[in-house]
């Protein structure tokens, strides 16, 4: 029995590998000329950049972490995280609540005073439970941390008002800081947040794509690239999957490609399901890659909440992740700009985006334009799932329909969940563990 897997990103490749290990006959159908999805990388002029935004290998999930590290065995550099937030022309330790001593005095007092006042009010039951993401930020961190960092940065990355976002997704993704850690950080006693990221790995060679390349190796003969799925229908118990000129037949079909593409390929989808799918919100990402002559700061990645510094919301330094990611004597910067389909960013050409990023990096004293020896731009239409207030209702309707027609959804933009690499692999492992032939 053949299982067709739609999409050859991280989730699709891992799914195919693990199912084949269980003795299943699989075929992976990938629209692009190369597999990997958001986990692809490029190497030009000696510089290596991830094309779907900065990725690292880390996880609280020991099984998933062991799997990822096995994929880069012998090709791994381990790094201590040194992550900052660029705030009022200074570097503040990340997470923001663990770096309060780095703030200007007035802001430090504002943040710690409001944090303590809010914590006391919550403990006394004086504050109503939050009903949206913005309210949750104020309820959890207080007005100071909310207004100095959390609200401006989140609205910059999501491109969506925080009061119109659901809060159901924050538990586990945005930890609630211990009160003693926040107080310690305000008076200069070092504390660490997000400790599961404090040490991370990265491939020495090949960028993050080295992970998916290793995953795909045992199933290489079962991958079809350049096969853009345009039609999926069931005929006599067999799925017929077409790219418009060829039909692949399979007894089972699992989708890891964006659910919007799957719904568009199906016949007879109820209008209510189409409407729910159309209402699912997401944003896109532009990655501006810059290679420079000289060194970059000894920082892993850097958040930029201030809109006055330009459109870039996060920058990373791949040459700090891997000693092989840049030529000798050079460093590299990857700038990420999230945006909405059809907005100003999507209409800007590569040269304009590159010049704006260079101006931002000059204003932050990270480089001078005379140092720049390489630039390139990568665009990804699907970057982050945006959890608006109607998300849970809409995604449930879409998932229920796909289940009803016998097409399971696995992976970030198929399940339409904000999953990191480890979350994608956990969803794959859980699916395979419970998989039975229908």
Residue 43: closest CA among 371, 327, 380 = 327
> What 3-state class would DSSP assign to 148?
helix
pLDDT value of position 178: 85
Q: How confident is the model at residue 190 (pLDDT cuts 50, 70, 90)?
A: confident
pTM listed for this prediction: 0.95
* CATH code for the domain defined by 2-37+206-280+388-433: 3.50.50.60
Burial label for 203, CB within 10 Å (0-12, 13-18, 19+), is buried
**What is the location of CATH 3.50.50.60 in the chain?**
2-37+206-280+388-433
The distance in angstroms from the start CA to the end CA of the chain is: 10
Cα 405 to Cα 337: distance, rounded to the nearest angstrom: 37
366-423 residue pLDDT tens: 999 999 999 999 999 999 999 999 999 999 999 999 999 999 999 999 999 999 999 9
Residue appearing with tokens 């504390």: 191
Angle in degrees, CA 391, 395, 400, rounded to 5 = 155
pLDDT value of position 438: 46
Please report how the helices 62-71 and 209-216 are oriented relative to each other, as an axis angle in degrees rounded to 10. 90
297-330 residue pLDDT tens: 999 999 999 999 999 999 999 999 999 999 999 9
CB atoms within 10 A of CB 25: 13
pLDDT value of position 437: 62
């Amino acid at each position: 029995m053949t299982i067709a897997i739609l999409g050859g990103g991280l989730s699709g490749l891992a799914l195919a590998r693990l199912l084949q290990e269980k003795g299943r006959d699989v075929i992976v159908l990938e629209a692009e000329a190369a597999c990997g999805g958001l986990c692809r990388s490029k190497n030009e002029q000696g510089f290596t950049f991830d094309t779907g935004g900065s990725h690292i290998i880390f996880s609280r999930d020991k099984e998933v972490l062991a799997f990822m590290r096995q994929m880069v065995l012998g090709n791994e550099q381990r790094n201590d995280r040194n992550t900052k937030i660029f705030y009022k022309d200074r570097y503040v330790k990340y997470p923001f609540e663990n770096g309060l001593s780095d703030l200007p005095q007035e802001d430090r007092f504002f943040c710690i005073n409001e944090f303590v006042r809010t914590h006391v009010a919550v403990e006394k039951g004086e504050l109503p439970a939050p009903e949206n993401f913005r309210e949750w930020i104020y309820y959890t961190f207080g007005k100071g941390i909310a207004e100095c960092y959390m609200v401006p940065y989140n609205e910059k990355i999501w491109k969506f008002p925080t009061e119109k976002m659901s809060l159901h997704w924050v538990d586990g993704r945005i930890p609630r800081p211990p009160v003693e850690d926040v107080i310690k950080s305000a008076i200069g006693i070092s504390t660490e947040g997000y400790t599961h990221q404090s040490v991370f790995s990265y491939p020495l060679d090949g960028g993050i794509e080295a992970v998916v390349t290793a995953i795909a190796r045992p199933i290489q003969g079962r991958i079809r690239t350049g096969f853009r799925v345009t039609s999926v229908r069931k005929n006599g118990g067999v799925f017929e999957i077409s790219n418009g000129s060829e039909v692949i037949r399979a007894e089972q079909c699992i989708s890891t490609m964006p659910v919007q593409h799957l719904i568009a390929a199906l016949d007879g989808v109820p209008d209510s399901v189409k409407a729910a799918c159309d209402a699912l919100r997401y944003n896109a990402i532009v990655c501006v890659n810059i290679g420079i002559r000289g060194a970059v700061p000894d920082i892993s990645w850097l958040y930029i909440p201030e809109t006055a510094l330009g459109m870039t919301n996060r920058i990373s330094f791949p040459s700090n992740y891997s000693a092989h990611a840049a030529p000798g004597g050079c460093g590299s910067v990857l700038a990420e700009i999230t945006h909405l389909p059809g907005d100003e960013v999507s209409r800007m050409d590569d040269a304009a985006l590159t010049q704006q990023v260079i101006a931002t990096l000059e204003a932050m004293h990270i480089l001078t334009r005379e140092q720049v020896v390489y630039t390139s731009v990568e665009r990804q239409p699907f970057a982050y799932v945006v959890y608006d207030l109607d998300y849970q209702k809409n995604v449930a309707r879409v998932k229920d329909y796909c289940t009803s027609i016998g097409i399971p959804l696995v992976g970030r933009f198929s399940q339409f969940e904000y999953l990191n690499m480890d979350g994608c692999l956990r969803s794959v492992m859980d699916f395979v563990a419970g998989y039975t032939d229908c």
